[in-house]
Structure 1
């Protein structure tokens, strides 16, 4: 499952609960709403959906401050509106919108016009598209919310006064969408009063232009905003030392290649490169010489890759390369040529010269597996295989390859359907190459205990996932202590809190690791890998 699929599933659960409430004649109790929001924030934390977690936490804070004990239907819909905009999966309009916009040439700037006057919106589209560098799309708010992350607009134009919707509400919602992406918002309006202008700027508008529009001036002001965005993007997306893209650019580039794969069946390849013994270079020759090593590698890579290939400094001495429309073997040959050239460069001075090599993992991305984190994990496995087998080499990832035949039993305990499905998929993605997996999901502790897994004389790895403050979910550990040898168990707790009271409740139960949500999937994998590495048994059980 990709992150978007988790969001779809979570959105359906939100809609299902709302329909249940709205079809009831009774008012909704405050306690029920409180439990519902805690369930949502827990799911958002776990899948790494920071915006959804932030909005839901805000609603929980408002709920705590409220004196209400019950909510009628209208009050509930208004209160939960921010939740809809955060988790909305877009329905049937999403696919068509993405496909229509994704076929545009990426050299053009995409401008989204939000106006419920269709005649005027179409007029704007026709006028603006006379500018060769513009492509204009007229959309409603729901379509923007559901498609934003995939269509990647460069600018918004919003009419602040619309008949069917409040333009200021739309401005606020759009601003939250573009908060960290520096996408300019231009307001147009017949009302040029100071009050309207000040409120627009306060809510996040970058420019305010009075109607009727002087089209030549309008286009100049749009271009100024786009130029400013391009400069900011360049600063944000480029690694200062090497001149290649930084890791912020990875997801954006990867998602674009995935859209081409889905639409045109264009497979692509990617590689991860890690300089061998880089820490020793820094320790022996200094960080300035380490910088020179990094700069030279980026120079060699740039000299070999094609114009549409993408080089990203992933972190430290690691680089990721994306090769559009490229087969695995061709990408591997390219990396081997880069390695050969790079290993001939002499660094240092006079009698203290040295050369560098790197290890690499190469993967071809197909429609069999398109999730970014999964494919990064696969490449990491190939990279570390190369590292552990002499370094200075390129290891490719073959489809269906397995590095070991060890058995891993995974039991998942969680009362949240989204969380169970998400963790089943996550564990499969993490360990399908390293283990023969047997994954089972349980709705609650009782179901798990009745299955009798914990009674076997084997080491167990248990992950406790905290749902909300009043549900510490430690009963299963108490039962294990009664019926089995606690020394056989390694316990990890996932929690949204990092407070002393919470820690002291858990420490007496021999918790070996405490992971604070939200956490990155690679962080979770690293923690679990460390625990699995020290296990003496080929059979382990994960309980989440």
Structure 2
């Protein structure tokens, strides 16, 4: 819905009444300031200047040209005064101007009462909450205008006229958009903006600066400080609404791309990390338990090899859609990586989560996926973990669920298992050999898989790798094709000769994407081929899957 001209007129009238009511009080304070003595110093002159700046900006927005003209003229006059202060003659002139403003305020005749205005407008209120807006401004008239306008448009509006309390309001409300006035007492808008942008948890809040300063330099300063948009006074209320709507549409679009997996429609791993942190924090605060289930397709590689990647993608989409339709509204499914999905069960213990996943497993196995006219029956294995408070990190929850899933795979697949502490000691027999001359990747992966509980051995060249394989039998080898002393293909061949019948799985890491190269490595017995650049999360997931198969 868009506010029409008649509604805009009512909103403006309501805001004008608030403005003039407050203006009379502000004028009284300024007259009191002038009455203290005949001369005014720098501090008093600055207070007068802020008064004229404030009424100038508000009056221009509310269509009050006479008040705007007075404010504009005397703001400039006081700017020229500098640090010299005001003599008795200038004080007398300003006193006369204040008398004039006071007369204008008293002579203002509102067209309709505020209650009548808003009662009529209420018939048009958009009842759908479109987002939360926090308006931070010490100008009550502007607050009233924006609050009423955005409320009519269906937004949940919060107002804050105290710059010091702004951060507390942001923490409590968690708004989608903040409209922030620059000229505020005690703490100006730039200081508030700097505080907001210093906190990572507020990174996705859109901030619109509201200011009477229209110079290019001021706009640049605002954008550099972290504002997403800059509205200068006077502004048309329709313009402010249009800008907020544009931001909300853009925010929704990017959030959907960020929060949803484009292939399956499940939520993304990025969003899972946010939600699991929220649930963990809620557990720490209130003791509200939750469980997660990590699901992995059985024989997914064989599906890809036999029917092609299109079939593999179709199976993933079918599974995600099936789970999404059959879990509770409070539960949510996320694509964790490859063919792995995670479900979060808020307020649910591991036994109840087991019942849900077991029901899904039994139902899904009887729902064939149609591929090129053929019906393919697919299964999955799952591991479940309930938070206990003993976990060292959020990641530990996933690690424990993965260990339970590994036991489900090991027990014959197409099973669901709940994590038990004894499972944590069963990975030490698994060995991963990382062959790469890039020390950063070596250290990163070594730390990662050592912490999970695997034996990790590293080699920086081909000869060292072949030598190590001659002494031990790694379960999985992560092999970079570009090594300082040997070609990766030759290293792979020599490793295959060394391990013999031992089921060592080799994963290739390479910047080469040619089909010929990929085919050669596949013929050499590798199980996966990861091209650079890659996401470290994806690499970890694929190595972990190879270790657990």
Q: Give the structure-2-normalised TM-score.
A: 0.50
Whose Rg is larger? 2
Higher relative contact order (CA 8 A, sep 6+): 1
TM-score by structure 1 length? 0.50
